[in-house]
Structure 1
Amino acid sequence: MEKKNMCGKTYTDKDWQSGKSLSGCTMYILENGLMCNVSFKVGPAQKIIRAHKLILATRSSVFYTMFEGSIPETDNIVISDVNEDTFNLFLRWMYTDQMKVSSKNVKEMLYISEKYMFYSGREACEQFLEQSLTSSNAIINLQTSVEFHLLDLQCASLTYIHQHPSKCLDNEQGIDIDNECMKLIVEAEAFNWTETQICKFAMKWANKKCQLSHEDPSGENTRRILGSLLYSIRFPLVDKQYFTNEITSVGLLNNAEIISVYQSFFGKENKYFSTRERLKIIYEI
């Protein structure tokens, strides 16, 4: 006997299992709305998406608690923080273990995998990010690693950025990073940039923050935005002419700090800023 599913597709209910793998069968019942016993209202439009409690609970401890906990949720469960496409792709992952991660969906899929403790989904996203680490996305990967506490990806992203700083940081993406990423980048002991380049980058980053908050990029405001990061810049190693023309004249440093830097130029120990040269990273081309 032929039937039509909720999408208008025709199927024969007596033989649909024939020739299908387990994942093929589970995907079939999902796509055709067979025996569904839970519904979700997903995204801004609250789109109704139906699924199966048993499958969700076997893949996710969050769903298991949701359905079998002391106060179980029954139906019309609202999920407003992900869109319909993301949730449908997530269900496909859970029903079939077929991971289709791309640069367009990786952040959303990582978020929903974390939310519902779907560990194979998280691992697939991490692997994709680590394998796609290039100058075009190293900054994005670093920010993602910080947001989702992915320490291996964070280490790999930072290493790549410090190896190829001009490719990664000399663009709008570079100066759009948040404070935590900026701290990780600038505090590094190994960096394939001169201290002058690092200083210029920090100034551009702080000036961009001033623009975003509609503040004058004065030395005082730049210093406030940099905060403790100011002391990660090794001013005694900055080009003397650049320091004189661009730093001393804007009010970024106080008089005592400026004097200490000039004294460092002549070998005196500096009590404000490090005078240790950063290491250069050797890498294969």
Structure 2
Amino acid sequence: MNSYRCLPNKVLFGASPPTMAPTTTTTTTDTLCLNLQKLWLNETTADIHFVADNIRNESQLLPAHKCLLAVDSSVFYRRFFIDLEKESNIEICDVSAEVFSVFLSSFYQHKIAVTDRNVSDLIYLAKQYNAHNCMTQCEQFLKDKLTTENVCYAFELATVCNDMQMYRSCLMVIEKNFRRVLTTNGFLHCSHNVLKHILLSNIENRDEFALFEACMHWAKTSLERNNVEHNKMMDWRTELGECFELIRFGAMTPLQFMKCETIYPVFTTAELTEIKLRIISLADNGFQT
């Protein structure tokens, strides 16, 4: 991905006057980058403001510059310079002012303050606004600090960016900590795409019953997060969509599937018959205990 690159003075302002002492490219670039950082949250020079609530639920005004936002975000470029929207304040409702402030910093400096607490929100913003430097910084953070808590966020990033190295690293963490990953907030709030990739993976010794229960909890959480009314468990199955078909019910033990059938009444009569016959067949061949 392309991160923000400061341009030499002569590119921005034309050739330097002959009377000026010569400077190295490194010095010029460093100076420009430092000057650019000074514009972050600079109220005096701002021409656009974002409004978001901080952690104390107080409305906070975050100043920014349209031209700098447009450099690294095709969404902002279209909004400000193609659609020519005239608003002076843009309301932000889905993340806190603290997180959005860090997001804005990605347009003014190369390194930003990515943490375990804000990485998921920053990835969300980077995708929403197609902000390259923010996405790059989140990707690097997750590569350097891959844990059971953030592995699902990293997995999402790996699939979006087609980063096979990170993809394989994520699968290794998931396989090594399978049950634990299924209980994390990262899994509960992962995208349908990430859930599908986990279900399609050939993780050794994966607990199919634990995975099924985690998928049902994921579906319930997804419905609640999107404010969708769900009165019965069949709604959870509908939310899972094709992912439900990827669960290997035939790999469960008879006792495990009996629990599934009892706790989660989401199977048709034909499905119950087919799955039970498959389990019995595997047990007869010594694959189940």
Structure 1 residues 61-112: Cα deviation after superposition (integer angstroms, max 9, x where no partner): 444444433x423451413244432333233331232322111222232233
Output one character per residue of 1:34-78: Cα deviation in whole Å (capped at 9) or x when no partner. 4x2512142256644333344334444444444433x42345141
Matched residue, 2:160: 149
- TM-score when scaled to structure 1? 0.62
Alpha-carbon offset, residue 221 of structure 1: 8.2
Per-residue Cα deviation, 1:165-222 (whole angstroms, up to 9, x for no partner): 13323x364873565444332332x22325xx2234314643785797564x7xx888
What residue is the counterpart of 1:84 in the other structure?
97
Question: Which range moves more in the overlay, 46-55 or 103-112?
Answer: 46-55
Distance 1:43 1:261, change over 3 A: same
Change over 3 Å in CA distance of 1:174–1:259 after alignment to 2: farther
2:198 matched residue in structure 1 = 185
Q: Does 1:103 align with 2:121?
A: no
Task: State how far apart, in whole Å, the 2-side matches of 1:181 and 1:97 are.
Answer: 28
SS at match of 2:171: helix
Partner of 1:3: none
Q: Would you say the 8 A contact 1:40–1:78 is kept in 2?
A: yes
CA distance in 1, matches of 2:242, 2:67: 51
Whether 2:281 is the aligned partner of 1:263: answer yes
Larger Rg: 1
Q: After superposition, give the CA deviation of every residue in 1:123-182 in whole Å (9 maximum; x if it has no partner).
A: 11111122221223324444x448x8344355542342123313323x364873565444
Q: Does 1:24 align with 2:34?
A: yes
- Structure 1's 262 and 33: CA in aligned 2 closer, same or farther, altered over 3 A? closer
- Contact 2:51–2:59 under 8 Å retained in 1: yes
Structure 1: runs of 5+ lacking an equivalent? 1-18, 268-274, 278-285
Size of the alignment, in residue pairs?
240
Partner deviation per Cα, 1:230-264 (whole Å, 9 max, x = no partner): 65444554445x35864677775533542343234
Equivalent-residue separation in structure 2 for 1:186 and 1:175 (angstroms)? 12
How far apart, in 2, do the equivalents of 1:228 and 1:191 lie? 19
